[in-house]
A = this chain, B = another copy of it.
Amino acid sequence: MKNDIKIFSPATVANVACGFDVLGFCLDTIGDEMVIRKTDKKGIYITKIEGFDLPFETTLNVAGVSALAMYEALKPDCGFEIEIYKNIKPGSGIGSSAASAVGSVFGMNELLGRPYNKTELTQFAIKGEALASKCEHADNLAPAIFGGFTLVKSVSPLEILEIPSPKDLYATIIHPQIEIKTSEARAILPKEVPLQNAIKQWANFGSLIHGLHTSDYGLIQRSLHDVIVEPHRSKLIPHYEDVKKAVLQHGALGAGISGSGPAIFTLSKGLENAQNVKDAMESVYSKTGIVFEIHMTRINTEGIKVLEDRRLKTDNRKPTHTH
């Protein structure tokens, strides 16, 4: 008996400039696909992984760990199989582990008739994300689950705010195929920062939230600055300053490090600007000899979603929920 759904779990950008550690947004054209299958046999099993070499052992796999957290909380009278079709390269800086972590719990929740709300799902996904990043945070999970822009006000207690997303906002993201060790990206952060810089950062962050609410692209542009973290972490990304300079010259509203890198995100008003920014990125990076990928996408305001609900075919009844 087939009793499964296929889902799309999107890539995300966290650490959005002045919103370091709290603001993220959701991407549209890049993400993983996963199949979550309800089984009579109890337990959580990862039955297929394609795309990248990741562990099948449930307790060692991000999607498995988040699934277990939910499974142990709910104790349902069934089990689940998880198939992972991974498109987001681990370590890219666009929420690869977050996509895995939210995919399993979102899918299970759908199959079980949605016992949990989005914040509760995020709470379970945090456990999976922690396996990958060694700390509990939700800045990629929240945009993957809620879509659009999200502000993680606090992790404990978990509080996630949905910030409006102006409709003409596009993201262009370059992912240089190099590895940045998370430990190195963390170690490079200062423990203390000048008060004057911190004030600048929250002035910009408050202004960015206001700009997103009012669809004021000029203000978004003037607010997308990070005076605290970027000066340190950008050193870990080759040609960061060249890319940033080029994209700003070609109409980007702003640019910053996506997550802890190496990906660099930009935001633009309109598709044409986003395309120009893509060309500018290509022009800089094609000269470097470093392999890279570029993603260009509107902001995904929907978040994670069901692609195919195969319960229909076997159960001969309508699902109680469609996404």
Contact = CB atoms under 8 A, between A and B. Distances in A.
A202 B197 CA distance: 12
A194 interface: yes
A209 to B, nearest CB: 4
A22 interface: yes
Contact of A203 (B22, B192, B193): B22
Interface stretch (A62-70, A82-90, A150-158, A278-286): A150-158
Interface stretch (A13-21, A94-102, A312-320): A13-21
Given A153-B207, A204-B153, A205-B205, A199 B21 contact: yes
Given A192-B192, A194-B192, A195-B228, A205 B207 contact: no
Interface in A1-49: 18-23
A194 B191 CA distance: 6
A55 interface: no
Interface in A146-182: 151-154, 159, 161, 163
Contact of A22 (B21, B159, B202): B202
Contacts of A208: 206
Nearest to A18: B202
Contacts of A154: 203
Given A192-B194, A213-B213, A206 B205 contact: yes
Given A202-B201, A205-B206, A228-B195, A219 B161 contact: yes
Given A195-B193, A223-B153, A206 B203 contact: no
Contacts of A152: 203
Nearest to A21: B199
A36 B190 CA distance: 52
Interface in A205-253: 205-210, 213, 219, 222-223, 228
A198 interface: yes
A192 to B, nearest CB: 4
B189 A192 contact: no
Contacts of A199: 20-22
Interface in A90-128: none
Interface in A274-300: none
B203 A151 contact: yes
Contacts of A205: 202, 205-206
Interface of A: 18-23, 151-154, 159, 161, 163, 189-195, 198-199, 201-210, 213, 219, 222-223, 228
20 contacts: A19-B206, A20-B202, A151-B203, A152-B203, A153-B206, A153-B207, A153-B222, A159-B222, A161-B207, A190-B195, A192-B194, A192-B195, A193-B195, A193-B198, A195-B228, A198-B201, A205-B205, A206-B206, A206-B209, A209-B213
